[in-house]
């Protein structure tokens, strides 16, 4: 294991929505945390880069630059006090936890990161760092699919085919469902088709309701996942109009919202007997500081914890049943990270999964 440098590179975003690669002191792991030498990190274009879009429209020149990122992969180079189940040299996928943690903690776009031990998961030998760097968003999608409760041969819609949506398509297909995807961008629709979507639709150029209902042979959708952020009463109503309808004219089925989506809709008789469910983050354990730093829940009661979801994502990659490369559109050197942000903001239609290579 090479010597740990005193400083390292970290990607920041300023009040103009521009990326900056700067030098910062290399952190030391607090009790319950590990220090990881990052090899790859992946952007979350919705949650994470939304600030770049916002600040470019409405600059905040007095805003202090802040670190960017919350998922990465690398190898452990130091263990904090009390850490067990991990060892120096071990390859791990990492994700960030909740607020109010020790200073400098988080799975940033940085060459060295300190991460709570239960927010890491060992990477199988045949899974690359670039693939494993997506595990946080993979676990987010896996938790959403569990909330959706898909059943064999059901008809499922995924609205929004960014990284989380791509994972949702693949997990829904692996669950034995028939999947249709909606997205504005052709690149993302093609990636969803590679991942198991039988039909994809551009809702800007085609009314998506008729082809979606035809896809279900007129039965209507059993389930829909909304995997994008923003406000859209229209999209929600379109989803409702695609759901199953009982003989008494009431909509039925399940709608799971995993993105930062907002809508206004009348409930009760106006919404029928539709279940609208929220899927929060990566599953049980996230935001529980004791859990993140090494405690665990009894698996007989909490089977699908954050740690388990991370592990299962990586195992599916290892087994060849989940190909992150299918939706990785760009790989940038860490030194070119500002260009990566520019590409996501200025050429959004050309991007899906965007990875930083920290070896360059």
Token pair for 260: 């930062």
In a domain, 154, yes or no: yes
> Distance between CA atoms of 62 and 64, rounded to whole angstroms?
6
Q: Which two tokens stand for residue 252?
A: 């039925």
350 within some domain: yes
Is residue 285 within 8 A of residue 306, CB to CB? The reply is yes
Last residue of a domain, one of 242, 262, 278: 278
- Cα separation, 103 vs 125, in Å, equals 32
Same domain, 169 and 108: no
pLDDT of residue 38: 98
CATH number for the domain harbouring residue 62: 3.90.180.10
Alpha-carbon distance of 307 to 44, in angstroms, equals 20
Whole-angstrom distance, CA of residue 348 vs CA of residue 346: 6
Number of domains in the chain: 2
Q: Which residue has the tokens 């990477």?
A: 123
Q: Are strands 251-257 and 244-245 parallel, antiparallel or unpaired?
A: antiparallel
- Per-residue pLDDT tens for 21-56? 999 999 999 999 999 999 999 999 887 888 899 999
Q: Of 209, 211, 210, 240, give the one whose Cα is nearest residue 224.
A: 240
Say if 321 falls within a structural domain.
yes
80 and 50 in a single domain? The answer is yes
Residues 128 and 148 in one domain: no
Are the C-beta atoms of 242 and 213 separated by less than 8 Å? yes
Range of the domain at 72: 7-133+283-357
Per-residue pLDDT 10s for the chain (360 aa) are: 578 999 999 999 999 999 999 999 999 999 999 999 999 999 998 878 888 999 999 999 999 999 999 999 999 999 999 999 999 999 999 999 877 677 789 999 999 999 999 999 999 999 999 999 999 999 999 999 999 999 999 999 999 999 999 999 999 999 999 999 999 999 999 999 999 999 999 999 999 999 999 999 999 999 999 999 888 899 999 999 999 999 999 999 999 999 888 899 988 888 999 999 999 999 999 999 999 999 999 999 999 999 999 999 999 999 999 999 999 999 999 999 999 999 999 999 999 999 999 998
Are 43 and 113 within one domain? Answer: yes
Beta-sheet pairing, 261-262 with 19-25: unpaired
Q: Are residues 100 and 207 in the same domain?
A: no
User: Which of 77, 86, 76, 94 has the alpha carbon at shortest distance from 132?
Assistant: 94
The answer to the question of residue 1 being in a domain is no
Of 227, 244, 278, the domain-final residue: 278
pLDDT, residue 1, reads 59
């Amino acid at each position: 294991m090479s010597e740990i440098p005193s400083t390292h590179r970290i990607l920041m975003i300023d009040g103009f929505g521009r990326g900056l690669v700067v030098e910062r002191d290399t952190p030391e792991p607090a009790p319950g945390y590990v220090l990881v030498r990052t090899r790859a990190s992946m952007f979350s274009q919705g949650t994470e880069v939304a600030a770049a879009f916002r600040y470019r429209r409405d600059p905040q020149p007095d805003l202090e630059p802040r670190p960017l990122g919350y998922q990465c992969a690398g190898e452990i180079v130091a263990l904090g006090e009390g850490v067990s189940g991990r060892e120096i040299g071990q390859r791990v996928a990492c994700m960030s936890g909740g607020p109010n943690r020790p200073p400098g903690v988080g799975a940033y776009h940085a060459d060295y990161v300190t991460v709570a031990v239960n927010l890491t998961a060992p990477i199988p030998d045949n899974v690359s760092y670039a693939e494993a760097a997506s595990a946080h968003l993979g676990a987010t999608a896996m938790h959403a699919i569990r909330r959706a409760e898909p059943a064999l041969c059901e008809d499922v819609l995924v609205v929004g085919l960014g990284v989380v949506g791509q994972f949702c398509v693949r997990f829904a297909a692996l669950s034995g469902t028939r999947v249709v995807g909606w997205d504005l961008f052709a690149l993302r629709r093609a990636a969803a088709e590679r991942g198991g979507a039988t039909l994809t639709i551009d809702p800007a150029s085609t009314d998506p309701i008729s082809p979606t209902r035809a896809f279900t042979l007129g039965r209507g959708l059993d389930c829909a996942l909304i995997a994008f952020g923003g406000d859209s009463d229209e999209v929600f109503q379109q989803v409702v109009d695609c759901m199953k309808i009982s003989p008494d004219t009431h909509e039925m089925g399940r709608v799971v919202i995993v993105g930062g989506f907002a809508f206004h809709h009348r409930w009760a008789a106006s919404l029928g007997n539709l279940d609208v469910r929220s899927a929060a983050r990566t599953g049980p354990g996230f935001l529980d500081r004791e859990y993140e730093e090494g405690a665990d829940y009894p698996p007989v009661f909490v089977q699908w914890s954050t740690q388990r979801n991370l592990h299962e994502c990586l195992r599916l990659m290892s087994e060849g049943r989940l190909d992150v490369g299918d939706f990785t559109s760009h790989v940038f050197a860490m030194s070119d990270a500002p260009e990566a942000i520019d590409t996501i903001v200025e050429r959004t239609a050309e991007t899906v999964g965007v990875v930083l290579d920290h070896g360059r």
